[in-house]
Chain A
Amino acid sequence: MSDTATNGPVLAADGTPLKRSLSRALRVQKMRALALIAPLLGFVLISFIFPIGDMLFRSVENQIVEHTLPYTVEELASWDGSGDALPPEDVFRDMYYDLFLAAEMKRHTRLGSRLNYESSGMSSLFRQGGRKLDDPGKDAQDALEAVDARWGARETFFELFNANEGATVDATLLAAQKQRIRWLADEKPVGKMNFAPSATVSSLLPLSARAYTAFAVITGMVDNDVVAKAKPPESIYLALLDDVARPGFADRLAAYDGPQKVALAALANAGLTMPNYTAIFEDMDRDWVDLETWRVIQTHSGSYTSGYFLNAIDMQKTPDGFEIQPENTRVLIQLFIRTLIMSMTIMGSCILLGYPVAWLLANLPARKANVLMILVLLPFWTSLLVRTSAWKVMLQQQGVINDVLVWIGLVADDSRLVLINNQFGTIIAMTHILLPFMILPMYSVMQTINPTYLRAAKSLGATNWTAFWRVYFPQSIPGIGAGSILVFILSIGYYITPEIVGGTKGVFISNRIAYHISSSLNWGLAAALGTILLAVVLLLYWCYDKIVGIDNVKLG
Chain B
Amino acid sequence: MSLPIYATFGQRVWYYAFRVICALIFTFLITPILVVIPLSFNAENFFTFTPEMLSFDPEGYSLKHYRDFFSSNEWQRSFKNSMIIAPIATIISVCLGTLAAIGLSQSHVPFRRAIMAILISPMIVPLIISATGMFFFYSKIGNFMEDTMGLDRNLVGYIKVILAHAVLGIPFVIITVTATLVGFDRSLTRAAANMGANPVTTFFRVQMPLILPGVISGGLFAFITSFDEVVVVLFVGSASQKTLPWQMFTGLREQISPTILAVATILVGISILLLTTVELLRRRSERLRGLSPS
**Cβ contact within 8 Å between A382 and B252:** no
A55 at the binding interface (Cβ < 8 Å) = yes
- From known contacts A530-B128, A550-B117, infer whether A47 and B231 are also in contact, taking CB-CB under 8 Å: no
Whole-angstrom distance from the CB of A439 to the nearest CB of chain B?
A: 9
Interface string of B212-224 (1 = CB under 8 A from A): 0000010001001
Chain B residue nearest to A429 (CB atoms) is B32
B120 at the binding interface (Cβ < 8 Å) = yes
- From known contacts A44-B119, A49-B118, A383-B267, infer whether A493 and B126 are also in contact, taking CB-CB under 8 Å: yes
Q: Which residues of A contact B48 (CB under 8 A)?
A: 393, 396, 398-400, 403
Q: Which of A39, A375, A381, A489 has the most CB of B within 10 A?
A: A381
**Cβ contact within 8 Å between B29 and A435:** yes
- Please report the C-alpha to C-alpha distance between residue A538 and residue B249 in the assembled complex, in whole angstroms: 28
Interface string of A22-36 (1 = CB under 8 A from B): 000010011011111
Partner of A390, one of B21, B35, B124: B35
Q: Which residues B135-174 have CB closer than 8 A to chain A?
A: 135-138, 163-164, 166-167, 170, 172
Partner of A551, one of B22, B102, B116: B116
A330 at the binding interface (Cβ < 8 Å) = no
Q: Which residues of A contact B253 (CB under 8 A)?
A: 499-500
Q: Which residues of A contact B127 (CB under 8 A)?
A: 493, 495
**Cβ contact within 8 Å between A514 and B134:** no
Chain A residue nearest to B126 (CB atoms) is A493
Partner of B136, one of A58, A389, A533: A58
**Cβ contact within 8 Å between B271 and A381:** yes
Q: Which residues of A contact B221 (CB under 8 A)?
A: 555-556
Interface string of A479-520 (1 = CB under 8 A from B): 000000000011011111001100000000010011001100
Q: Which residues of B contact A52 (CB under 8 A)?
A: 125, 129-130, 133
**Cβ contact within 8 Å between A44 and B129:** no
- Please report the C-alpha to C-alpha distance between residue A357 and residue B99 in the assembled complex, in whole angstroms: 38
Q: Which residues A197-248 have CB closer than 8 A to chain B?
A: none
- From known contacts A52-B133, A500-B252, infer whether A375 and B30 are also in contact, taking CB-CB under 8 Å: yes
Chain B residue nearest to A56 (CB atoms) is B133
Q: Which residues A346-393 have CB closer than 8 A to chain B?
A: 353, 356-357, 360, 363-365, 372, 374-379, 381-393
**Cβ contact within 8 Å between A40 and B120:** no
- Please report the C-alpha to C-alpha distance between residue A361 and residue B22 in the assembled complex, in whole angstroms: 10
**Cβ contact within 8 Å between B109 and A393:** no
Partner of B137, one of A54, A389, A394, A489: A54
Whole-angstrom distance from the CB of A57 to the nearest CB of chain B?
A: 10
Whole-angstrom distance from the CB of A218 to the nearest CB of chain B?
A: 19
A279 at the binding interface (Cβ < 8 Å) = no
B58 at the binding interface (Cβ < 8 Å) = no
**Cβ contact within 8 Å between B136 and A537:** no
Q: Which residues of A contact B1 (CB under 8 A)?
A: 363-365
B39 at the binding interface (Cβ < 8 Å) = yes
Whole-angstrom distance from the CB of A292 to the nearest CB of chain B?
A: 32
Chain B residue nearest to A36 (CB atoms) is B103
A48 at the binding interface (Cβ < 8 Å) = yes
**Cβ contact within 8 Å between A399 and B96:** no
**Cβ contact within 8 Å between A40 and B99:** yes
Q: Which residues of A contact B282 (CB under 8 A)?
A: 556
**Cβ contact within 8 Å between A388 and B25:** no
Q: Which residues of A contact B235 (CB under 8 A)?
A: 517-518
- From known contacts A353-B25, A493-B128, A496-B231, infer whether A33 and B109 are also in contact, taking CB-CB under 8 Å: yes
A9 at the binding interface (Cβ < 8 Å) = no
- Please report the C-alpha to C-alpha distance between residue A357 and residue B136 in the assembled complex, in whole angstroms: 43
Q: How large is the interface on A (under 10, 10 to 19, 20 to 34, 35 or more residues)?
A: 35 or more
Q: How large is the interface on B (under 10, 10 to 19, 20 to 34, 35 or more residues)?
A: 35 or more
A523 at the binding interface (Cβ < 8 Å) = yes
Partner of A496, one of B11, B18, B106, B230: B230
Partner of A385, one of B115, B130, B249: B249
Q: Which of B11, B227, B248 has the most CB of A within 10 A?
A: B248
Q: Which residues of B contact A386 (CB under 8 A)?
A: 33, 36, 264, 267-268, 271
- From known contacts A378-B272, A381-B224, infer whether A514 and B128 are also in contact, taking CB-CB under 8 Å: yes
Whole-angstrom distance from the CB of B19 to the nearest CB of chain A?
A: 8
Q: Which residues of B contact A363 (CB under 8 A)?
A: 1
**Cβ contact within 8 Å between B271 and A375:** no
- Please report the C-alpha to C-alpha distance between residue A365 and residue B103 in the assembled complex, in whole angstroms: 39
Partner of A432, one of B28, B129, B170, B224: B28
Q: Which residues B198-256 have CB closer than 8 A to chain A?
A: 217, 221, 224, 227-228, 230-231, 235, 245, 248-249, 252-253, 256
Q: Which residues A403-460 have CB closer than 8 A to chain B?
A: 403, 432, 435-436
- Please report the C-alpha to C-alpha distance between residue A393 and residue B65 in the assembled complex, in whole angstroms: 15
**Cβ contact within 8 Å between B267 and A382:** yes
Partner of A357, one of B26, B100, B117: B26
**Cβ contact within 8 Å between B137 and A432:** no
- Please report the C-alpha to C-alpha distance between residue A550 and residue B175 in the assembled complex, in whole angstroms: 10
Whole-angstrom distance from the CB of A317 to the nearest CB of chain B?
A: 23
**Cβ contact within 8 Å between A385 and B26:** no
Chain A residue nearest to B272 (CB atoms) is A378
A191 at the binding interface (Cβ < 8 Å) = no
**Cβ contact within 8 Å between B261 and A393:** yes
- From known contacts A33-B104, A378-B30, A382-B271, infer whether A399 and B47 are also in contact, taking CB-CB under 8 Å: yes
Q: Which residues of A contact B230 (CB under 8 A)?
A: 384-385, 496
Q: Which residues of A contact B47 (CB under 8 A)?
A: 393, 396, 398-400
Whole-angstrom distance from the CB of B39 to the nearest CB of chain A?
A: 7
B183 at the binding interface (Cβ < 8 Å) = no
Q: Which residues of A contact B36 (CB under 8 A)?
A: 386, 389-390, 393
**Cβ contact within 8 Å between A43 and B26:** no
A553 at the binding interface (Cβ < 8 Å) = yes
- Please report the C-alpha to C-alpha distance between residue A436 and residue B116 in the assembled complex, in whole angstroms: 25
Q: Which residues of A contact B26 (CB under 8 A)?
A: 357, 372, 375
B193 at the binding interface (Cβ < 8 Å) = no
Nearest 6 A/B pairs, CB to CB = A493-B126, A36-B103, A51-B137, A390-B32, A51-B133, A40-B100
A-B contact pairs, 26 of them (CB 8 A): A29-B108, A30-B106, A33-B104, A34-B110, A37-B109, A40-B97, A50-B137, A52-B125, A54-B136, A357-B26, A379-B32, A381-B274, A383-B245, A389-B264, A396-B47, A432-B28, A435-B29, A495-B128, A500-B252, A514-B131, A527-B132, A530-B128, A537-B124, A550-B117, A551-B178, A553-B120
A residues contacting B by CB (< 8 A) are 26, 29-30, 32-37, 39-41, 43-45, 47-55, 58, 353, 356-357, 360, 363-365, 372, 374-379, 381-394, 396, 398-400, 403, 432, 435-436, 464, 489-490, 492-496, 499-500, 510, 513-514, 517-518, 523, 526-527, 530, 533-534, 537-538, 541, 550-551, 553-556
**12 additional contacts (CB under 8 A) given A29-B107, A399-B48, A464-B11:** A34-B103, A36-B100, A36-B103, A37-B99, A39-B99, A40-B96, A41-B100, A383-B271, A391-B32, A398-B46, A432-B29, A496-B249
B residues contacting A by CB (< 8 A) are 1, 11, 14, 18-19, 21-22, 25-26, 28-33, 35-36, 39, 46-49, 96-97, 99-100, 102-104, 106-110, 113, 115-122, 124-138, 163-164, 166-167, 170, 172, 175-176, 178-179, 217, 221, 224, 227-228, 230-231, 235, 245, 248-249, 252-253, 256, 260-261, 264, 267-268, 271-272, 274-275, 278-279, 282
